[in-house]
Structures are given as C-alpha cells and as structure tokens.
Amino acid sequence: MVLHRLAVFVLAPCVLLFPPVSALGQASAKPKPHVVVVSVNGMELDVIRPLLLEGKMPNLSSVIKKGAYGKLRTVSAPNCPRVFSTMFTSTEPEEHGVTGFIVGGITANTNMLKQEPIWSILSKNHVTVGMTNVPATFPVMPVNGYMISGMLTRGKNCEDGVLCAPKLSEVEGGDAVYPPSLKAELLKNVGDFYIDCERMPSAADLQGHESAEIDAWLAKVQLIRDQQTRLFAYILDHHPTDFTWLGQSCEDRTGHWLYPIAPYNAGYNPKINAVRTEAFPDQYVAFDKVLGEILKHVDENTYLIIVSDHGIKPLREFEETDPHAHMDHGKTTPVIAKHDFADGDDVPGSFFAMGPGIKQNLRLMGFAASVYDIAPTILHLYGIEQPPQMRGHVLSDIFVNAGKTVAER
C-alpha cells in the first residue's frame, strides 16, 4: 500500500514534468543557488584532525577556514542506509522505513522509502538535481536531472548489493542510472566503473597471505576512487545542476578492518593489523585529493556541504553486541572497528559548510547539528519551506544573517 501511494505521489509527476538531462542548463527560467554536497561514509574526526594538523588535507583545511564545521549528531546504531535515508527525509528510521542494510529480509532500496526524499522535493520545486554514487539510492528514481546510484546497488558478483562493487555494466535488478540514456553516455565517455567500494576479504581469503591480500585490496580501492573522480569531473563538466550530491564510501570500508588499532584493542591480529597501519588515514589523504577536484567546480557563489553519516571507532571488549552484525558474507570479515554502537553519540558524523552568507572559521560546539538538519538546511538555501514531517531544523547558526533566506534571489 505504502509503495503504491509513494509511486503515485513521487514518481508520476517526475516523469511528466522533468526535462530530459540533455535539456538541463537551458531549462531553468531564473538562476537558482548552486549547492554541492559531498558525502563521505563514516568519516572519523579523530583520524581527520591529526591529518589536518600535519597539513595532509589542504583542501579540507581550506573549507574549514572559509566556513563552518563541527560534529554531526547521528542516529542510534548508525549504518549507511539507515543514516543516509534519515538525511534524505529528515525523519526517523522507523518513519522512513530504511532501518538498516536488510529490512524484512530484503536489501534496503529506494522502494522502501515511506517519506519523501530531498531529491523529489527539490525536483518538484524546479531545482535541477544531480546525484552520483550516493548510498541507498538504488534503484534510481526519476529526478529533475540525473541520478547514478551508489552503495547497495545490486549486480554481478554482488547479488545482494551489500558492501560490494558491481560495475555499471554489471548492474542487475534495477536501474543504476536515470535517465536511461545517460548510462550509454557514461560508458562511452567515462568508461565502465565500479559503482561502490570493494567488498572486504574474508578471514579465509587472508589466511597465510595477509600482506598480499591487503595490498591488492587497497590497490582496488584506489582504482575505484580514481574511477569515481573521473566520473565526478565528467558529470560536473557536462551536466551541471543546481543541486549536486557526490558520494564516497571507501574510507569507511577500509576503517572496518584496517583501522590502526593498538595490540590491547579488541580483535587485534598482528598479521593483519601491523601490516599497513597508514592505510586508513591514507584514505582521507586520498579523499582530500578528490575534494580538490570537486573544488575546481566550486566558485565563490556555490555552497559546498561536506557531510558524514557517522564516525567509526575500534571495537570494545565490553560491548555486548555482535561486532560483525552489519557485515556481509556470513559475518566472516575480520572487522576491528565499527559504528553501529547503540549510542550514536559515540560515533558522530561530521559537517562542513561554506558559501555565500555562511560564517567563516566557525566551529559548531557539541551537537549543534544533526543528520536531521541536512535536508531542512538545503531546502532553506533554495527558499523552500520545510515540510511538516521533517524533524530537523535549519542550521541558522552557520549563517551570517540567520533571519533571512540567505540564498533568495
């Protein structure tokens, strides 16, 4: 019943009203604010801060100086689909329906959404929307622009869609690209690419050749990141939209099993955890380079929002829950860090924003911002009233003139 109602409510008007992607750029009658969101799955501030001090993340450093940043309160037992769908809708997981990786025995997907996501609200308000590799957006939905799915996309060798990496050409069980014509264009001009980060190896894969397996896995992660960077550059160059959301997810995946833990931490195995202790921090150094590419498309009139759904911390001996609870392939992956702690405040996400009318060099203290506030704040930038079901609030503290709709033109 719910799916049927949503299909009528959200999808039908999109099909009728939205221009084809080729018409973007000429379609809008008056200019709308440019907003670029970059989401990083599981970005951990405890790891980021030393890298910033060492000067290893110059691009994120520049964003912090030019804008506002702080922790982002997340939901309880946070994981990617659960939190991203909360950001999309500003409603609680039980309200929007995507409560975890698997819901009622089925891999989380967009058909489960019981609340209207931000891409639909923006599209209805004639904002052009582009979303690339954002988690929990498979199968893609019609928007006033384009959508390329991310984590939880199903495909060959990734039939359940959980924490694995089908290529665009190997996607099965739904569409990974809207409009369909964009798929052929991407395959032609960007080449085939992995749509999500690599699945982690199992204990059996690692046994006896840990170093070689880890090196090969990290090389694949960088290959995927390079492909995503090429995709971002192409899509930003050739299909500019008012609202753009780009997703990264390899950092979190790496942290789960290569977090640089100490021998006294739970799950420490020197054969794995003494091998590439720089691998996890290096993910953020690599991310900073991706951010540098994105920043080439961010001028002084563009809003840039960098957001993470949660952090990630080493396992704890005293934690009673199964540390592999959110893992895939029979829970065999040797994870040593996780984020689905019962208290979400143990693993806050993070928030960075800069743009016209946003205060500079502002640190948000405590939990001034939450994942519920992302959608209302984006709508505010476009002068769109917050729908009544949304539980968050506009992050007015970050704006120089909080009383006004800053981006109204």
Which residues of this protein are in contact with Zn ion, per CB under 5 A? Answer: 252
Which residue's beta carbon is nearest to the bound Zn ion? 252
Cβ proximity to Zn ion: between 116 and 252 the closer is 252
Taking phi over 0 as left and psi of -120 to 50 as alpha, with beta for the rest, 10 belongs to alpha
SS3 115: coil
In this structure, is the dihedral angle defined by the CA atoms of residues 165, 168, 169 and 170, taken in order, positive or negative?
positive
Report d(CA 190, CA 183) in Å as an integer. 10
Instruction: Name residue, tokens 């899509």.
Output: 235
Q: Do the beta carbons of residue 149 and residue 136 sit within 8 Å? A: no
Cβ proximity to Zn ion: between 176 and 337 the closer is 337
Cβ proximity to Zn ion: between 78 and 142 the closer is 78
Two tokens, residue 180: 């369909």
Element (H, E) at 145: strand 145-149
Instruction: Name residue, tokens 């975890």.
Output: 100
CB of 220 to Zn ion, least distance (A): 17
Report d(CA 370, CA 123) in Å as an integer. 24
CB of 392 to Zn ion, least distance (A): 23
CB of 174 to Zn ion, least distance (A): 22
CB of 256 to Zn ion, least distance (A): 6
- Burial (CB count <10 Å: 0-12, 13-18, 19+), residue 350: buried
Two tokens, residue 332: 């065999």
CB of 117 to Zn ion, least distance (A): 21
Report d(CA 21, CA 146) in Å as an integer. 6
Cβ proximity to Zn ion: between 210 and 252 the closer is 252
Cβ proximity to Zn ion: between 333 and 377 the closer is 333
Report d(CA 277, CA 262) in Å as an integer. 10
Cβ proximity to Zn ion: between 128 and 254 the closer is 254
CB of 221 to Zn ion, least distance (A): 14
Cβ proximity to Zn ion: between 144 and 249 the closer is 249
CB of 317 to Zn ion, least distance (A): 20
The closest of 196, 193, 201, 134 to 160, measured between CA atoms, is 196
